[in-house]
Structure 1
Amino acid sequence: MKWFINIWRTLTKPAKYLTLGTVSLSAFLMGIIFWGGFNTALEMTNTEEFCISCHSMESMPYKELQETVHWSNHSGVRATCPDCHVPHNWSRKIARKIEASHDMWGWMLQSVNTPEKFEDKRLEMASREWKRFDRDNSLACKNCHNYDSMKWEDMSKLAQKQMKRAAEIDQSCVDCHKGIAHHLPDMGTARAPELIAQVGSGVTSLQTEQIYFTALTKPLFYNDHTDVEAGTLNIATKVKVLETKGKRVKVGIDGWRKKVGAGRVIYYDFGINILSAQLTKDAALEEGVMQVFEEKEDPMTGLIWQRVEAKIWTEKDYLVSDLQPLWDYARETYSTSCSVCHTQPDEKHFDANSWPGMFQGMIAFVNMDQDTQALVQKYLQEHSSTFDKSAHEL
């Protein structure tokens, strides 16, 4: 018993019974043992074996990974779970581990333990990972892939154009390459998934003579069955359903066009460059597609504008009955994304025709997919001083 008492006294009051050198050496050795043990345990959680020890991970995302080029390729380089989902930087790695503790609740509550439950949560989980990749500017991807090391000459001309532009702004890889390692959420599109998750993928039963709004940029067609595109219907554009047939719907698009060339671009209002739709030249000249109601001269430019309605076909999906959720998403995105470098100007600070140039200067410093860019720009234009005069009232 005496030896136990002596050990206890030494541990509780080491400075009284041990020399300074002994205390310092003991503390140093204990620190090494603790730090080594901590890092060993940490690295054990950074293995693929640990990641797939959960059945829901092994049965779904791990099998999906095995179907991709990140698993099997001619170079023999394989990306494992921690390569993509655990940051290499130590401080970020610790933050990620703390964040990942949320996944324990999913395991305990068995919220993704069946394929059906997993699919129900896939969009939520994917959106969370996409946000993290975007926040880190896809650093996990760039640990292996580097813009400066890419062989442009081996790419197609389209790929070169897109990738060189991405390299110029050091764009986040996941902006364009969602679904590169795992299946995309069942949404019918990989574009603007967070937007669609918030506003919905469209009204299931469209009614004729009713007004709807486009939740994404959509292709236009000459009729209900052809695959030949007749133009583009912009996001957040108001349309009236005229006829439905199969998977397509004939819509009326009201607006104004400049009396220049084929007049194929339809704008939201007279003299205002807010895009509603762009038809191909052939579609704009097609008989029965475009109806002209009146003409007006723009006193600012001297151009003649025509009030028109285009009657043309598009797909039934991504037509919503309420515009406000789109504006809410755009407002939130503008507020969070465009305040990274400085305080963003109020929507009413510029007029509708000035906003495109200002906004294009901003998005060079943030990462947005094209649909979200178009939506935010349109939101700023339609909430500008052109329509809201309160910013200039005394």
Structure 2
Amino acid sequence: MKKSLILGITLLTVSLYANETMYTSSVKNLYEASDSNAVKGRLLPTSKVIVVEKNSDKSKIEIEGFMKAGVSNAIYFSVGKRILVAGLSKSGKFDIKKLSSSKDKDGVEWKKVVLTAYTKNENLTKDLKPLYDKAEDLFKSNCSICHPIHPVDEFTANQWPSMFKAMVNRTAIPKEDRYLVTQFLQKHAKDMKGE
């Protein structure tokens, strides 16, 4: 009786989180298996994940994104844009399934993929808006001290990281929030409207 009750509660907990859409609020470690402690990748803030299964300390997640032909250790948010969703160790053996493929305007092949991995349960949220609000506030309150604030849509997704990196050390933006601000700027860049 006791074992069946525990099993029932475990299955109910797992099913409550099945296929739930969540977003990462910080840089998160990725693991190949639920019982592994070897970090084999990193997931960046504001990345959308589908929680397939949630256990006591880790969640099994699926991450959709794009891989550039010949680059097997990076998953990007959009074709032709350097908006990193996840960086993977070359020694990692993640389950990555190809969903489709296409070519960008330069004829480079991109594969739409889904990565299955595990991550610790903390720093996942259902609502993306507070993350973007925090990033926007950090950007506006810090980057307007020395000069007029640049409109978020002034630069392209590929231009923003170097622009931000060139000046971020002159700000009070904490190191742990710098990827969050970069992701916000890239995902709201002038060439990201409608994506």
TM-score range, shorter chain: 0.7 to 0.9
The structure showing larger relative contact order (alpha-carbon pairs under 8 Å, at least 6 residues apart) is: 2
Picking from 36, 40, 45, the partner of 1:235 is 45
The equivalent position to 1:291 in structure 2, one of 88, 94, 97, is 97
In structure 1, what is the equivalent of residue 148 of structure 2? 343
Indicate yes or no: 2:178 matched with 1:386.
no
Alpha-carbon distance in 2 for matches of 1:362, 1:222: 36
- The code of the aligned residue for 2:167 comes to M
* Residues 181-200 of structure 1 aligned to structure 2 (within 5 Å): none
Deviations, residues 15-57 of structure 1 (Å, cap 9, x unaligned): xxxxxxxxxxxxxxxxxxxxxxxxxxxxxxxxxxxxxxxxxxx
Question: Tell me, what secondary structure is at the counterpart of 1:272?
Answer: coil
Cα-Cα RMSD: 1.7
* Structure 1 residue 243, shift from structure 2 partner: 1.3
**Structure-to-structure mapping, 1:1-394, within 5 angstroms:** 207-261=17-71, 263-283=72-92, 286=93, 289-300=95-106, 302-388=107-193
Structure 2 stretches lacking a partner, 5+ long: 1-14
- Gaps spanning 5+ residues in structure 1: where? 1-204, 390-394
Q: Based on CA coordinates, which of the two structures has the bigger radius of gyration?
A: 1
**Preserved contact between residue 138 and residue 173 of structure 2 (Cα < 8 Å):** no
CA distance in 2: counterparts of 1:292 and 1:210, whole angstroms: 21
1:220 Cα deviation from its structure 2 partner: 0.6
Distance in 1 (alpha carbons) for counterparts of 2:162 and 2:178? 13
TM-score in terms of structure 2 length: 0.87
- Asked if structure 2 preserves the Cα contact closer than 8 Å seen for 1:235 and 1:371, the reply is no
State the alpha-carbon separation in 2 of the partners of residues 233 and 206 from structure 1: 23
Distance in 2, Cα, partners of 1:206 & 1:348: 38
What SS does the corresponding residue of 2:165 show, helix, strand or coil? helix
Q: What amino acid sits opposite 1:246 in the alignment?
A: S
**How far 1:364 moved relative to its partner?**
2.8
Question: Quick check: 2:49–2:63 contact (8 Å CA) kept in 1?
Answer: yes
Amino acid aligned to 1:299: K
Aligned to 1:68: none
Question: Are the counterparts in 1 of residues 22 and 125 from structure 2 also a CA contact under 8 Å?
Answer: yes
Contact 2:33 2:117 (C-alpha < 8 Å) held by counterparts: yes
Identity of aligned residues (%): 29
| Alignment partners' CA distance in 2, 1:303 and 1:335 | 36
Query: In the TM superposition, what is the alpha-carbon distance from 1:305 to its structure 2 partner?
Result: 1.1
Aligned-residue offset at 1:370: 2.7
Q: Deviations over 1:280-331 (max 9, x none)?
A: 1122xx2x6101112222223x422110010000001110000000011111
Report the TM-score when normalising by structure 1. 0.44
Give the secondary structure class of the aligned counterpart of 1:290.
Answer: strand
More helix by share: 1
Over 3 Å counting, the alpha-carbon distance change for 1:333 and 1:206 in structure 2 is: farther
Give the aligned length.
180
User: Per-residue deviation at 1:206?
Assistant: 6.5
| SS across alignment from 1:281 | coil
Q: Determine if contact 1:259/1:305 at 8 Å carries over to the other structure.
A: yes
The one-letter amino acid of 2:146's match is C
Distance in 2, matches of 1:328 and 1:206, equals 28
Deviations 1:175-234 (A, max 9, x none): xxxxxxxxxxxxxxxxxxxxxxxxxxxxxx961101000111111111111111111111
